Structure 1
């Protein structure tokens, strides 16, 4: 009965009522009123300020470009410059004088603006920097900016994106022709970098976090802070259509990210569209009006919370904190941690059930761990017992044929190498060996097979020294080499080649066995891959399946064996294992080695 009385008003009900009364209700009501009253006013202010800003930015940019146009026009009509350029050979003194005039023209302007003067016949050119390849008059006389200049009698504005050798990004060129008696004798070009645009746009004082973009009359980006993350060269067609629909208001809203886009067009014969982007959320958050209202709401909510909630929070959350501390300990590995239960309420119920669940989990974990260890040990033993008789049968078969075909010396050699292999297999009860030892076993095996096949194939072993001290499961490479000889090289007409490679790749070791034998048909290759994933291993693919299964048992499904093959071309088999200089466990895997 005592427990039932305590459960009449649950903790969650009390907590809901408490915070609804103290904070949620007033914050929700006041916040809603604040948003309704101030958001529209704030948004209109942002729109008006953004429109004025982009208009001023367009005027500033037009003024900057106009200064370069005027200066260049004056330079191209200077009689002294015209006279010196018109000479068939420009002397060094004349060249120096022209360069001084160019220097004076650029004085007081951005240091990154470059000027180039190029004679129409290509015999003379001078620059305050490096002349781009695009200004090679002999190769590009009728292209690009030169074509524009040949068709115009005034100053030409040309969208001309390129990056100088020093890494400076140029976005526009202002160019003019130098004429004598109506004939073009030279071209003068000012290359304007993007930081000139940035300076012109940033001179407009504004309190908004505003970004700019500038496009020419062909919707080609000259300067871009708004869409630069999208790597666009031309304005997106969908965005262009939205701007066309909003042409009267010259503003639109974008949702991702949410922002206001406003724009204006510079006057003159080469109009540029200057666009500005203002993030709506940031503007609204930083609006003084909204901030003042939000502060008032927060102060009211805090006052209520400070006045009423401390006693309630302390009494209600004490058992919850105890449960959380216990869960943190368990999460960090202390599975013996338990909740100390004092009350008979919902938290007491949770604590007792948590303790009971942890007890059951510990029992299940211990049982499962023992099962997994036993299963893994038994499966590895089974795999080892499969591969050793298979290899021994093939080797004894080799000795039988050599006894018939060769002399005593060959038999002595092959039996000696076989003895090394069998001795290592019986004596070495460890799960893993160093790669240097594994390569030695492969060498012994290859010595036997080369005698058997009468030098039918050449062998190249290319294993990096940095992995020689690493540990891998024993007899992990020899089955792959055996498979390459029996199924790839044996049936090939003529001499074959076998390459064994080993190297480190990041935190992995890669072994690759390549042969140029008869290869494997697609149907047979699919069959081998299926058998590698099967629980039972068929006799045709025991070596491959054994290796793949052993590697996955030791290291997980991210590692193992992959095969690529093409009939009459050859086969490539690759084994992937972790890079490790620590031996695997030393469980006894050789219970029946002496039978």
Structure 2
């Protein structure tokens, strides 16, 4: 829904100031909510993304650091299992303990092992254990032949062809990396290196929040490392971590999941070298605790900004609408009929100022019009009196013409009788018939009456012929006095100047559903500029002045038709100098009186 529609819906009776204030408020509120929401979502996602990136990078670096140490240990094991003089020969030696030869071997292998782990603080002990019961080690803790009966030794013998990583069940102080010692394709012992657990704790000490947890599990779902938590903490149970590890199935991924009713971001990484899986659990509430404070701060700032905008909007709208209120007061004066009122000038050049100036102009124009109406009413009363006085004039004129006609007949003057009769008919058409439309037959009768008067003006014969294509066309309705100006123009300007007389042909026909009337004379013709003047396209013609009865020329006929019916109806003229002039009328074919009256309206 549009903002303007919303304002109209909730407050149809509000003032402009109220609507502007509500519009400002809604726009501001919508902007603040939109911007705050976008910032909130983006910052929340950015914090989560940064935490995941940080933990992922830390786990990767820890894994790489651990791999470096394990690769170094693997190289040490390789040195041990490939040393025949010191290691293999000592294990194969038949000497017994508490013998000189045994002490010599012990001293020699101790020096060899000590040299390997010197300056490697991440190694707590290196030991060579023979299957024949000989045990040699450097570092701590103490180790004796009882190690042969432990699960660690069994694990090393089963998996130590290359290297094996063993984490004692429940122990969190060492990781043992071992490898078989073989001679003549037979296993004769095992070399084992214990990795200092403190280095593992430092390596995996990744905690983006205080209550974040990190677990490293081996391929048997044993815990190589886990974050130490307080007994009262809400850390997930170890069984839950094992199930979560099985869910990931050793893959690297980042998911959000609920654990014991608490939402966590879980980051998983699989070590290619060791096959261990690292799981980092980041509680969402702890991760976003600082962001929650920022969110609350943003909400407080948004409320303050909204209040400030409301106050500012009220001040601005009050300033904006003060001129509207002034203009309204002036309009109320005019509404009560007071055209003379105290004017409060509005000098601004904005739309309100323009409206004020238009209103003042309108009031002045209203005063002028009211004065004009007063004068018009006075003139109207005078005209009514004049019209009342003139009501008797047509009757007096008809009676006078009839008297002249009667006298001409008594004195046997047929020309005066004919002219008088024709004049009576013309006066009846002009003064007695108030209809705007006549039939074609009636128009032709008026034309013949006009010609019977006009022929006595000239000393040459004038013949008027008609050519009717269909008798039904005589009943079509046309505008009153539409043909007479055309015939008048043909006689005065075409045939009259000629000394040999002439004829006028009036042709009535139908074409394309239209009524066509052509008036053609064989007079002297007209030049192009005269044709332009005839229809008013050039300088104003003289037809109106020549029309003795109607006061309308050809141009007036054309304008009446165009005004009533539009293009392409109207009058067109064609002429050849010295040959002819033809004037054509295009008019709608009107046969129904009701329809014609409607169109005339």
Q: For the pair shown, which has the larger CA radius of gyration, 1 or 2?
A: 2
Give me the TM-score of the superposition, normalised by structure 1: 0.38
The one of the two structures with greater contact order (alpha-carbon pairs below 8 A, sep at least 6) is 1
TM-score (norm 2): 0.38
